[in-house]
Amino acid sequence: MNVRRSAAVLAAVAVIGAATPAAADPSPSPSQAFPSALYGDKDPKFDGVWRQSLALLAQDTVGVKPAAKSVQWLVRQQCADGSFASYRPDPTTACDAKTMLDTNSTSAAVQALTALGGHDDVTRKAIGWLKAVQNKDGGWGYSPGGASDTNSTSIVIGALAAAGEKPDRVEKDGKSPYDALLKLALPCGGDGDGAFAFQPDKKGELAANADATAAGVLGALGTGMVVEPGKKSDATCEKAATPRQAAANGAGYLTAALAKDGDHLMSALAGAEPQPDFGNTADAVVALAAQGDTAQAEKSVRWLEKNSASWAAQSGPAAYAQLILAAHATGTNPRDFGGADLVKQLGATGPAPQTAGKTTSGASDEKEDSGSDFFGVWWYVGVCLVAGIGIGFLFTGRKKQQQL
């Protein structure tokens, strides 16, 4: 999901593909100052709300009370109709037809603000907007009206559940989000073997996608990005007649994919050597923990402890948040994650929190140059464009379309 993990990717692809007037707006120059309340120090054009939401959600999960101005920045990003865009440089200017609204940013903001509490009016309006843009098949795409995809539908389910809604009762033309997810689940057997696809391809065929599968497992379980270990499931891959069976099937696919490559997932740019995929591995850990498949989740989180430091430093707040959520899901201490204090590292990318928790005192208001998701966004855009994935959206765009 993801958070997973990044709406910026598909958003960027959609911008390029649609060539909308908004896409022509010049990106801020490197010297331009961004809001001091914002986490990360790189261009937030495509992922500002997403990374802010994940940062706040992760801090809340470990008992850290974020800076009030960071929470208020996120609240002020909301449009009058309840939606959120990826980033609004001037929130005093009303949203209009050129504002690139997206379901992923909106859903991530709902999950963060619901967890923090005290923002019922904001989250209620956001949920109302999400319901208003639900597709006839019961799902959601990244952009309003876009074809339903597993990532977007799943993160909306997480927002609905966080806000106290019953996702199976949120219907459009008699179809719920679970109906949409079941249509995107691959049958058992073959290369897909119970995985989820991101979307059908142009021929209407489904292809297994590890990123979508991690999101789909959470969505099918009706949970958001913060999970506790679920009850152990020994279910084998069977026809996905129910969301829970689809979740079990997807978890089985992820377990096999992780074990195949040494307890982590791999991604590859066309024509390039495969590379470890840290973000999707973290998302898979959360999904497996939620399903109760804790043995593989714990192996993979150990791999992340040993190998993810450089990736997180380069990728910034959303990456630190993903690792914190993976640690939380497996009962791993995020303040001693392979010797690193993820909570402190995340806090260093934004304003000092109101309460820093047990070991995060001394965090500075000064932002370290720990990077952000922007570099990764454009690398993933390249993945999507080279691979020719017609997603029309992702964030999640949310993520690159990898075939595992």
Which helix (DSSP H) or strand (DSSP E) does residue 220 occupy?
Answer: helix 210-221
In the prediction, which pLDDT does 271 show? 76
In 3-state terms, what secondary structure has residue 292?
Answer: coil
Average pLDDT for the chain: 84
Question: What does the alpha-carbon distance between residue 275 and residue 277 come to, in Å, rounded to a whole number?
Answer: 6
In the prediction, which pLDDT does 356 show? 65
CB 102 within 8 A of CB 77: no
Two structure tokens written together for 186:
């691959």
Residues in the chain: 404
Q: How many CB atoms lie within 10 A of CB 276?
A: 17
Q: Give backbone dihedrals phi and psi of 37, rounded to 5 degrees, phi first.
A: -80, -10
Q: Which of 74-78, 120-124, 337-341, 365-369 has the lowest mean pLDDT?
A: 365-369
Specify the higher pLDDT residue, 391 or 250. Answer: 250
Two structure tokens written together for 363:
């965090």
Q: How many CB atoms lie within 10 A of CB 235?
A: 16
Mean pLDDT of 63-67: 97
pLDDT of 3-18, one tens digit each?
A: 343 444 444 344 333 3
Residue from 279, 147, 172 nearest 225 by CA: 279
pLDDT of 284-332, one tens digit each?
A: 999 999 999 999 999 999 999 999 999 999 999 999 999 999 999 999 9
Tokens 């120059």, located at residue: 29
Q: Name the band, by pLDDT with cuts 50, 70 and 90, for residue 231.
A: confident
Two structure tokens written together for 290:
């939620």
Question: What does the alpha-carbon distance between residue 327 and residue 369 come to, in Å, rounded to a whole number?
Answer: 24
Is the pLDDT assigned to residue 364 strictly greater than 70? no
In the prediction, which pLDDT does 314 show? 97
pTM higher than 0.85? no
Question: What does the alpha-carbon distance between residue 325 and residue 54 come to, in Å, rounded to a whole number?
Answer: 9
In the prediction, which pLDDT does 273 show? 86
